[in-house]
Chain A
Amino acid sequence: MDIELRMRVEELHARYAHALDSDELERWPDFFTAKGRYRVTTAENEARGLPLPVLYAEGEAMLRDRIASLRHANIYEPQRYRHMVSAVLLEQQSASRVKSIANFLVIRIMENGEVVLFASGRYLDRIALPELRYEERVVICDSRRFDTLLAIPL
Chain B
Amino acid sequence: MKRVMVKPLKVLGTYTQVLPNNWKLYMDNVKDTYHASLLHLFFTRFRINRLTQKGGVFVSADGAHHCTYTEIVEDRGDAYEAGGMRSAGGAHDFRLEAPELLEQVDELGDNVSIQILSLFPGFVLHQIRNSLAARQVVPKGIDRTELNWTLFGFADDDEAMLRRRLLQANLVGPAGYISMEDGAATGFVQRGVAAAADRASVIEMGGATIGSGDSRVTETAVRGLWKAWRSYMQV
Contact = CB atoms under 8 A, between A and B. Distances in A.
B12 interface: yes
A69 to B, nearest CB: 6
Contacts of B179: 149
A148 B175 contact: no
B101 A62 contact: yes
A147 B18 contact: yes
A11 interface: no
B18 A151 contact: no
A13 B127 CA distance: 38
B170 interface: yes
B94 A45 contact: no
Contacts of A40: 175
A52 B166 CA distance: 6
Interface residues of B, number: 40
Contact of A45 (B15, B41, B167, B188): B15
Contacts of B19: 148
Nearest to B98: A61
B13 A65 contact: no
B16 interface: yes
Nearest to A55: B175
A12 B11 CA distance: 36
A104 to B, nearest CB: 16
B55 interface: no
Counting chain A residues whose Cβ lies within 8 A of the other chain, the interface size class is 35 or more
A144 B16 contact: yes
Contacts of A53: 13, 166, 169-170
Contacts of A62: 97-98, 101
B90 A65 contact: no
Given A52-B151, A72-B90, A75-B181, A149 B17 contact: yes
A44 B16 CA distance: 11
B92 interface: yes
Contact of A149 (B39, B41, B151, B180): B180
A118 B20 CA distance: 14
A145 B140 CA distance: 13
A73 interface: yes
B119 to A, nearest CB: 23
Contacts of A42: 13, 15
A150 B42 contact: no
Contact of B183 (A72, A144, A149): A149
Contact of A52 (B13, B18, B174): B13
Contacts of B187: 77, 148
Contacts of A45: 13-15
Interface of B: 11-20, 39, 41-42, 45, 90, 92, 94, 96-98, 101, 146, 151, 162, 166-167, 169-170, 173-175, 177, 179-181, 183-185, 187-188
25 contacts: A45-B14, A50-B13, A51-B13, A51-B162, A52-B166, A54-B15, A54-B173, A54-B174, A56-B166, A65-B96, A65-B98, A72-B92, A72-B94, A73-B42, A73-B45, A75-B39, A75-B181, A75-B185, A76-B180, A77-B184, A146-B16, A148-B20, A148-B183, A149-B181, A149-B184
